[in-house]
């Protein structure tokens, strides 16, 4: 943490015109005060920073976990699905471990975000009942902190490429866009689950089950091409299908991207976020009373 920051600018900004805080009962669940959200961007930063810092201070091997988890899953899946069940990627020249690891990367990020965000509001109950800030900051922070794990796991992917004597495709420059959809989906589902969890504490019990089912409903261990053509629309409704497929295309350069699949997935992710925001706004005002 660097402390040597010059302060004159801040002092000037502080003594701006008198602010008026208006307190009224909320009538509508629509609309998000983006200006206010921006005013609290430093808090967002500090919460993300806290989550990352605390996570790695409390663990003995720290950041290694970010690498071990997808690596072990990759080995397990490669043995069971690649070796025993003989699942083959669409492009026969791509080794299965590389194929599955490229899928596991966005997936691991997504499931970690989901788990973090679903309990984020309840986990920060002490803040919610004692201090005001836009509550949206909390689930928002929880989808950013797993990005650091993603980053380290990505280093492993690069290592894996080197191991197989390959280079990532130039399409990899598009990764941020695909990751953006994963973020959006995690945020949308996280908004629903975290606000539901304030009232119904059943959510943490449902999460491991949900992520497990969702993993198998997402083409992580198998390619979309294995799904009969008539049923592909169904799997495309899962926003993570588009993300995983597009991610794989961008690093492995496998074939043509499934534009339609990615389009549908993005749209579903957007709907999840919009409805999640609506539900969050609707229930937000009672958080401090019932949490």
Partner 1 sequence: MAGLAIRVEGLSKSYQLGQRRGYDTLRDSVAAAAGSLFHGRRGESHRKTIWALDDVSFDVQAGEVLGVIGRNGAGKTTLLKILSRITEPTRGLADIHGRLGSLLEVGTGFHPELTGRENIFLNGAILGMTRVEIARKFDDIVEFAGVAEFIDTPVKRYSSGMYVRLAFSVAAHLEPEVLLVDEVLAVGDAEFQKRCLGKMQEIGKSGRTVLFVSHSMPTVTRLCDRVIMLEKGAIVADGPAIDVVSRYLTSDEGTQSARRWDDLESAPGNDLVRLTSVGIVNRSGEAVESIDVRQPVGVEISFTVLKEGEPFRPQIMVVNEQGVHAFNAMDTDPRWRQSTAPGEHVSTAWIPANLLNEGLMMITVFLSTLASGRTVQHVLERDVVAFQVVDPVEGDSAKGDHSGQWYGGVRPKLDWDVR
Interface residues toward partner 1, by CB under 8 A: 1, 3-7, 9-11, 13-14, 18-26, 42-43, 45-46, 49-50, 53-54, 57-58, 126-133, 198-202, 285, 288-291
CB atoms within 10 A of CB 77: 23
CA distance 73 to 13: 50
Q: Which is nearer to partner 1, 9 or 256 (CB)?
A: 9
Q: Which is nearer to partner 1, 26 or 212 (CB)?
A: 26
Residues in the chain: 291
Q: Which is nearer to partner 1, 50 or 83 (CB)?
A: 50
Q: Which is nearer to partner 1, 7 or 60 (CB)?
A: 7
DSSP assignment string, 76-105: HHIIIIIIIS----SSTTS-HHHHHHHHHH
Least spacing, CB of residue 30 vs partner 1, in Å: 16
CB atoms within 10 A of CB 95: 15
Q: Which is nearer to partner 1, 9 or 34 (CB)?
A: 9
Q: Which is nearer to partner 1, 132 or 233 (CB)?
A: 132
Least spacing, CB of residue 164 vs partner 1, in Å: 39
Q: Which is nearer to partner 1, 21 or 170 (CB)?
A: 21
CA distance 174 to 47: 28
Least spacing, CB of residue 140 vs partner 1, in Å: 14
Q: Which is nearer to partner 1, 21 or 229 (CB)?
A: 21
Place of tokens 């509508």: 28
Nearest to 281 by CA among 27, 8, 12, 15: 27
CA distance 138 to 152: 24
Least spacing, CB of residue 13 vs partner 1, in Å: 8
Least spacing, CB of residue 106 vs partner 1, in Å: 29
Nearest to 273 by CA among 121, 116, 140, 135: 140
C-alpha 148 chain-centroid distance = 11
Written as six digits, the tokens of 169 are 């495709």
CA distance 164 to 134: 47
**Burial class of residue 225, CB neighbours in 10 A (0-12, 13-18, 19+):** middle
Least spacing, CB of residue 197 vs partner 1, in Å: 8
CA distance 54 to 276: 28
Least spacing, CB of residue 87 vs partner 1, in Å: 37
CB atoms within 10 A of CB 40: 17
Least spacing, CB of residue 153 vs partner 1, in Å: 24
């Amino acid at each position: 943490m660097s402390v040597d920051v010059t302060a004159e600018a801040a002092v000037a900004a502080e003594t701006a015109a008198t602010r008026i805080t208006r307190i009224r009962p909320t009538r509508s669940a629509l609309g998000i005060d983006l200006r206010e959200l921006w005013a609290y961007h430093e808090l967002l930063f500090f919460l993300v920073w806290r989550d990352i810092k605390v996570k790695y201070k409390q663990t003995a091997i720290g950041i290694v976990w970010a690498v071990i988890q997808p690596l072990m899953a990759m080995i397990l899946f490669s043995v069971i699905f690649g070796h025993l069940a003989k699942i083959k990627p669409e492009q026969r020249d791509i080794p299965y471990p590389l194929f599955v690891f490229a899928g596991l990367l966005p997936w691991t990020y997504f499931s970690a975000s989901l788990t973090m965000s679903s309990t984020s509001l309840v986990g920060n109950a002490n803040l919610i009942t004692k201090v005001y800030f836009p509550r949206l900051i909390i689930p928002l922070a929880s989808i950013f902190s797993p990005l650091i794990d993603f980053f380290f796991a990505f280093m492993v992917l690069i290592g894996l490429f080197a191991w197989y004597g390959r280079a990532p495709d130039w399409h990899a420059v598009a990764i941020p866009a695909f990751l953006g959809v994963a973020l959006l989906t995690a945020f949308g589902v996280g908004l629903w689950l975290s606000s539901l969890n304030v009232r119904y504490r059943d959510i943490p019990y449902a999460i491991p089950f949900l992520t497990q089912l969702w993993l198998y409903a997402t083409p992580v261990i198998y390619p979309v091409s294995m799904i009969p053509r008539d049923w592909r629309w169904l799997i495309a409704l899962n926003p993570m299908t588009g993300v995983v497929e597009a991610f794989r295309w961008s690093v492995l350069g496998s074939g043509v991207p499934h534009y339609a699949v990615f389009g549908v997935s993005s749209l579903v992710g957007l709907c999840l976020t919009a409805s999640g925001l609506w539900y969050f706004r609707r229930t937000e005002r009672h958080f401090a009373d019932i949490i």
